[in-house]
Amino acid sequence: MHLLVIGGSDAGISAALRARELDPGAEITIALADDYPNFSICGLPYYLSGETPDWHDLAHRTEFPGINVLRRHTAQAIDVSRKFVAIEHAEKALTIRYDQLVLATGATPLHPDLPGSELDGVFFLHTMKDSFAVNQHLDTHQPRTAVLVGAGYIGLELADAFTQRGLEVTLLSRSETVLPTVDPLLGRQVQDELQRHLVRVLTNVSAARIQQAVHGAPSRLVVTDSGGGQHQADLVVLAVGARPDSDLASKAGAKIGVRGAITVTREMRTNLPDVFAAGDCVETYHRLFNEPTYISLGTIAHKQGRIAGENAAGGDRQFAGALGTQSLKVFDLAIARTGLLDREARRAGFDPITVAATANDHKAYYPGAVPLHILVTGDRATGRLLGAQILGNRKAEISKRIDIVAAALFHNTSVEELNDLDLSYTPPFSSPWDPVQMAAQAWTNSVRKRADL
């Protein structure tokens, strides 16, 4: 059996490694368009900040025993009937035959229709090559100011990174608050943290055009926002999101679904015979929506890739589904979420109530206790747990605490049942009731009071 994998990031590598585990005799080939198999794209902001000074350290692994890795091999077309992929390498065309094919082509950054986005000094950040271009600009031009267009995960991580590199940063957000994937109550606290570190944050605006500055250094740029404001910068990064890279699959006849992502079964099969797909190029089954959605996360890509590789090797495993669990560091804050926000739950047909609570991360008498701000969302009628968000100091185990809720959501528990979990306790780390459980109790009490009114 020859397994061909197109794409060498999280999903592609996971598929190849799992197939190798299950079928040591299989011939496995990975074809990737660049020269960086299994590098952590999530780590790019920390390379640019200088916290991970050597980009080589971003490699999850450097050796792939028993797997043929073809670098700089770009897939051009799939012939499904004859089971081969047309590849371009060093301006030469070749074909690679397969018995089973896994598409792990990932996502590609959105390129807004923005005049001036092609100017020198304007960048996207999605690949290793992108990070080298930005880093070279930082080293060569020694920029003093940066404008970041987009206030999602990449925009906020770069605001942190560039500030650490000594730049004055302006952040443009189209939404009312930064980080629109969390509740505005927490988004405003993230904004306060940015401003505390002297990041200039402008909300409810978008970039209208970029142009070369008439005066000043030749590389100086001016970004004009939708409100007419002008922001000079030596460096501009467009961080306005990404779309699934499904073109190769679509041209081969693969069914395309939510947001242009490849439609797959929970076994990660496409509608094409012997063709699987996984990662940021595909739809994701959501456990709470109980239907496909699109979520671009490395954790999901790893899981889907592993399942695609297992089934390509003859297995029969299903993707259990995602909850959108994610976390982020912004300077000294950490913020995390899992499940549904109130507005998302309402659109999904639930009757949600979201209750805010604040509790110290550990017992107050032990030095260093810090407050955690927690939002719990549950269904009013059934008490079913639907989601949670947590914000606090980055050293307060925010990420692991959201995992408590994620595990509970995975097993369809109620909010009240969070109190039954046997969680650890010692005064330096928590309380007899963990803050997550205190927030659950606040939710239950709030719902009871509303019912009594």
What CATH architecture is 122-238? 3-Layer(bba) Sandwich (3.50)
Mean pLDDT in residue range 215-220: 72
Nearest by Cα to 266 from 285, 281, 279: 285
Q: Which of 1, 42, 242, 421 is catalytic?
A: 42
How many Å apart are CA 20 and CA 313, to the nearest integer?
A: 8
Structure tokens at 226: 């939708």
b vs e for 252-291, b when ≥16 Cβ sit within 10 Å of the residue's Cβ?
A: bebebbbeebbbbeebbbbebeebbbbbbbbbbbbebbee
Nearest by Cα to 194 from 174, 172, 223: 172
Share of the chain above pLDDT 70, in %: 99
* Residue 321 banded pLDDT, cuts 50, 70, 90: very high
* Residue 218 banded pLDDT, cuts 50, 70, 90: low
Amino acid code (one letter) for 1: M
Whole-structure pTM value: 0.95
Question: pLDDT tens digit string along 45-83?
Answer: 999 999 999 999 999 999 999 999 999 999 999 999 999
DSSP 287: T
Mean pLDDT in residue range 91-118: 95
How many Å apart are CA 396 and CA 128, to the nearest integer?
A: 31
Q: Tell me the domain boundaries of the chain.
A: 2-108+242-312, 122-238, 326-452
Which pLDDT belongs to residue 187?
A: 97
* Residue 452 banded pLDDT, cuts 50, 70, 90: confident
* Residue 206 banded pLDDT, cuts 50, 70, 90: very high
pLDDT of 219 strictly over 90: no
Which pLDDT belongs to residue 216?
A: 65
Fold equal for 122-238 and 326-452:
yes
pLDDT of 384 strictly over 80: yes
Locus of tokens 């980009």: 55
* Residue 91 banded pLDDT, cuts 50, 70, 90: confident
b vs e for 359-373, b when ≥16 Cβ sit within 10 Å of the residue's Cβ?
A: bbbbeeeeeebeebb
Question: pLDDT tens digit string along 2-37?
Answer: 999 999 999 999 999 999 999 999 999 999 999 999
What CATH architecture is 2-108+242-312? 3-Layer(bba) Sandwich (3.50)
How many Å apart are CA 341 and CA 335, to the nearest integer?
A: 14
- List the beta bridge partners of residue 401: none
Q: Annotated catalytic, 281?
A: no
* Residue 103 banded pLDDT, cuts 50, 70, 90: very high
Mean pLDDT in residue range 88-116: 95
Which pLDDT belongs to residue 450?
A: 87
pLDDT of 101 strictly over 80: yes
If one looks up domain 326-452 in CATH, what number appears? 3.50.50.60
